[in-house]
Structures are given as C-alpha cells and as structure tokens.
Amino acid sequence: MTASGRVVTASGALRGDVDDSRGLTVFRGVPYAAPPVGDRRFRAPQPVEPWDGVRDALAFGPAAVQPEGQPSMFGGLFGSAGLGVSEDCLTLNVWTPAVDDRRRPTMVWIHGGAFRMGTAGAGGYDGSELARRGDVVVVSLNYRLGLLGFLCSPELGAANAGLLDQVAALEWVHREIARFGGDPDQVTVFGESAGGKSIECLLAMPAARGLFSRAILQSTYSPPMDVEAAAQRARDIAAELGAGSADLEILRSAPVDALLAAEQRAAAAATAEGRTAPSGAGPVVDGTVLPRLPIEAVLEGSAASVPLLLGTTLDESRLFGALAPEPPVRDDETLAARLVSILPGDDPHRGRRAAAEYRRARSERGESIDPVDIWFAASTDATFRQHSIRLAEAYAARQPDTWMYLFSWASTSNEGRLGAFHAVELPFVFGTFDEPLGRLAGDSPEARSLGEAVQDAWLAFACTGRPKASALPDWPPYEPGRRATMVLGATCEVVEAPMDDERRLWESLQA
C-alpha cells in the first residue's frame, strides 16, 4: 500500500486498493449516507456519520435487500453477486487512475434489475477497463430496492427513497470526487434498464438538477408510476401485518423478513380478489420528489442543458422469453390475442392489425415472420424501443446533442435464440467479457473489438458530449424526421429511421 491508496474525505480517511497491474486505485464500499435502518427506513437518506482513524475501503458493501436465487443464466448480474443483502446498503465504489488533482471526467453507473434486484458490486460492472482506457474516474452506487426503496405512503411521508439515494450519491460525488482525481463539474450518469429509468427520472427531478452534465440511458422503459395504486399497496401490506389504515408506522418497525412476507401476501390477496397488484418496485409520480412523468418534464425543458445518449438492444424481450417454460405464442391467432394486451388504444382489431403490419414490414426487410419472432419484436417495442424513440424526439426538440443507438450484436448462446437480448451490451460497455454475461453475449475477438469501439464512444461522450470513436462511422445527432441511429453490432453503421413502419404503427395506435 502506498500513499496514493489513501484519501481523506469530509467524513474521514479511506484506505483503497492499489492495483499496480492496471494502474488504478479502487475504493470499495464507501458510505455516502447513513444506514437507512430503524426510524430512517423509507425516509430520505441522511448524512454519513464521520469516523475516526482510517477506514478500509477494500471490499464491496452488501447489496440492498432483494430476492435471492436469481436464474443462473444472469450470472449474478441481476442478483446480489454473493455479497449478501442488508438494509445498511448505501455505499459506492470508485475506480481512479490516480489520487491526484487532475480533475478527470467522472462516470457514475446506476445498475439495473427492475428496481428489485442487483448490486453495484457485480463483476460485470467492474469499472477498471473504462477508467484505464479513458483516463476517467468511474463510480458505481447501491440504492434501496423493492419495497424498502420504493414504498409509497402519504401517511409515512414516504416516496421514491431509492431515487433520493441516487441523488445523495451524486451529491457525494459533487463534494468529494476531486479528492479522488475526478471533476465534479464533468459528471456523466449512465445506467441500464432500471438504471436507465432512474436517470430518466433524475432528469426530471428538481433535487438532481446541476449534479450531472451528461446522461446515457441504456434500455430505459415506461413502467406504471401511479401514486394512488402504490399508496393502496402500502395500506394492504400494513393490513397483512395486522395494522389499521391509520397505523402504518408498523411498516417502519416490522422485521424486514416479516415486511417482505406481508408484501407477498398482499399481492396474492389482490390477485385473488381480481385486483391488479402493483409490482411494488419503482418510482411513482408523487408530485414532490418526482413532480411529473419524466417525458413530460423533458418536453417542458427540465434537462435542456444535458446532452443525452440513449438506445436499446434489438431483441430486448428475448431474455425474458428464455425464462418462460413454453413459447409465448404458437400461431397467428394467439399472436393477435396476445398483442392486444400490450398495444395502446381501444380498437378491438388492433391485435390483428399489428400482426399484419409487423409481418409485412419484417417480410420486406427479409426478417423472420414466425409468430414467435413477431411477438418478441412487438414486446420489445412495447416495453423499451418505442418509449425510447418518443423520449429521444422529446429531448431532441430541446437539446441538439441527442444521440441514439440500436445494439444489434446477437448472442451465439442458446442456439442463437437470445439474439441481441436485454443487457447484452453491458460487457461491451465495461469490457467484462470474462464475466458470465460476457460469455453469454459471446466472447470473441470480434466482440472485444466492438467492445473497444463502444467504450471509446461512451468515453468520448463523457468527455465531450459527443459519442465519437475512430472505429465507428461518423455519428450524427438524432433529430425528428431523419432519426439517425448508430447500429452497433457485427457491422456498425448509421441507419436513418430504422424499423420506421413499426414506429408509425405505434404512433397511430397512440393517437
């Protein structure tokens, strides 16, 4: 250990891990807020209590409380990564090329996992390669998940605690990152899935304004964000614990295992009564922390000064289909019936209309028109792609530095059935091909070459606001009409308005 492995923060001294082989110093498990336990449960995060002496920052902190035993194909990326779980989870990690006064661009990663699972300490999120390759500081953070992070209860004054955790971590970066060789005035937030949705919310949150200067949204989506349904769910859980509707303090005092068990019972009871049980995880538009839907805030210019890079994978939904015991559809009839459940509007014939339009468009492009493949394409559009397109168009109306990608690299695993599945881009962004998800994506010289191009583009965006890379064609900004999109795959090319027939279909259904 050398002097470069030690940093004195406002809360106390930290001892990091000097990795001479990579020319980095890593600080793991750094607390950015007080443990949200006891009376602090569901509340906004509170400041860290200072410590005496030198605190070791050599091991990742525990993951937020979440379900254990995620499917093995995820390789631990969407679980606790063997780090254990705890309510005392508000820690972050820093990878820095040097503890000096250089003020490097800083990239802050927010992990995904449906707001229910995951950890910043997963091997697939190792920041070493980005920090080394780009001479940047990389930060990753934990935040409260599931019921503990996103319980919504006006009676308890609780809403969006997990988002407020992210704000607290960004405030820590703003105050402290210069001590680690980073630049607090040049911070890029990036995240995937629930991490991307988190950043979409941060763009709309008054509390987050000014804490970052650029944003990368990977596979953001549009989940239900209804505050009333979430508040009723809190009352249902309290009832399962034996409390009346006016005695919700039991939610703060109940043992965490009892609380999570009551959550499951409340969801089962709602289903038995024919009510739709809210997922229990994720942000809500509460009017205070999150004043309005993020896309509405963007249209009003909430983040007009922040350049944006966003996109999706080509076959997002195939990952979830791989977990199903049977194919989601078997023929054209079941395809049309299932499409009704994901399409907007009230046209009773929209399922057949959409099936026909997807079949025609895909046939003209030489793509499969098997009902299962059409279903995966439509469900990818329903959950991820069409929302990202609408967000890009709203954003580009205010911010000319808006850039869009479509990640098309297809996994060779599972006999090629996964395609360019949800999260396939992560090992390319982080250069973590030796991790399980990297092997699932398909580790090869070609994959690593694409990974270097993706990393260079992400790093260039973090440094300049423009995703340029020598191995990629010139990447024009996204603007309505042209809709230039960088396709990142076995071949990288700019395509104007890719799959535009499907976009027009969704636009007409939403009209």
pLDDT in tens, 173-182: 999 999 999 9
- Confidence class of residue 280 from pLDDT cuts 50, 70 and 90? low
Q: Could you give the 3-state DSSP secondary structure of residue 312?
A: strand
Residues of the chain with pLDDT > 90, as a percent, come to 86
Which has more confidence, 324 or 294? 294
Residue 96 pairs in a beta bridge with: 25
The closest of 268, 113, 313, 302 to 197, measured between CA atoms, is 113
- Confidence class of residue 323 from pLDDT cuts 50, 70 and 90? confident
Long-range contacts of the stretch 262-268 (C-beta < 8 A, 24+): 262/237, 262/238, 263/147, 263/237, 265/240, 266/233, 266/236, 266/237, 266/239, 266/240
Walk across the sheet containing 6-8 and list its strands: 6-8, 13-15, 54-56
Q: Residue 277 pLDDT more than 80? A: no
Q: What average pLDDT score do residues 485-509 get?
A: 97
202 φ/ψ angles, rounded to the nearest 5 degrees: -60, -35
Q: Residue 299 pLDDT more than 60? A: yes
3-224+285-294 CATH fold: Rossmann fold (3.40.50)
Please report which residue ranges of 365-464 form alpha helices under DSSP H: 371-380, 386-396, 426-430, 436-441, 445-464
Q: Residue 160 pLDDT more than 60? A: yes
pLDDT in tens, 236-256: 999 999 987 668 999 999 999
Residues classed as catalytic: 193, 316, 422
Same fold, 3-224+285-294 and 326-510: yes
Mean pLDDT computed over every residue of the chain: 93
Query: What's the pLDDT score for residue 416?
Result: 83
Least confident range from 157-171, 310-324, 385-399: namely 310-324
Q: Please check whether residue 422 is in contact with residue 219, taking contact to mean a CB–CB distance below 8 angstroms.
A: yes
Q: Residue 71 pLDDT more than 90? A: no
Q: Please check whether residue 94 is in contact with residue 180, taking contact to mean a CB–CB distance below 8 angstroms.
A: yes
Query: What's the pLDDT score for residue 482?
Result: 94
Query: What's the pLDDT score for residue 318?
Result: 94
206 φ/ψ angles, rounded to the nearest 5 degrees: -55, -35
| Buried/exposed code over 192-215 (b: 16+ C-beta within 10 A; e: otherwise) | bbbbbbbbbbbbbbebbeebbbbb
Query: What's the pLDDT score for residue 501?
Result: 97
Query: What's the pLDDT score for residue 279?
Result: 55
The closest of 173, 140, 141, 143 to 160, measured between CA atoms, is 143
- Confidence class of residue 481 from pLDDT cuts 50, 70 and 90? confident
Domains in the chain: boundaries: 3-224+285-294, 227-272, 326-510
127 φ/ψ angles, rounded to the nearest 5 degrees: -85, 5
Q: What average pLDDT score do residues 79-97 get?
A: 95
**Radius of gyration, alpha carbons of the chain:** 22
Q: How far apart are the first and last CA of the chain?
A: 62
Tokens 């005392």 locate to 88
- Confidence class of residue 15 from pLDDT cuts 50, 70 and 90? very high
Q: Which helix (H) or strand (E) holds 28?
A: strand 24-31
Least confident range from 270-279, 281-290, 336-345, 428-437: namely 270-279
Q: Please check whether residue 105 is in contact with residue 74, taking contact to mean a CB–CB distance below 8 angstroms.
A: no
Tokens 């602090």 locate to 40
The yes/no answer on whether domain 326-510 falls in CATH 3.40.50.1820 is yes
- Confidence class of residue 109 from pLDDT cuts 50, 70 and 90? very high
What is the full DSSP assignment across 79-142?
S-TTS-B-S---EEEEEES-SSS--EEEEEEE--STTTS--TT-GGG--HHHHHHHT-EEEEE-
Q: Residue 216 pLDDT more than 80? A: yes
Residue 406 pairs in a beta bridge with: 312, 487
Query: What's the pLDDT score for residue 77?
Result: 59
pLDDT in tens, 330-371: 899 999 999 999 999 988 999 999 999 999 999 999 999 999
Directed axis angle between helix 350-364 and helix 500-510, to 10°?
Answer: 160
Q: What average pLDDT score do residues 406-432 get?
A: 94
Q: What average pLDDT score do residues 150-168 get?
A: 96
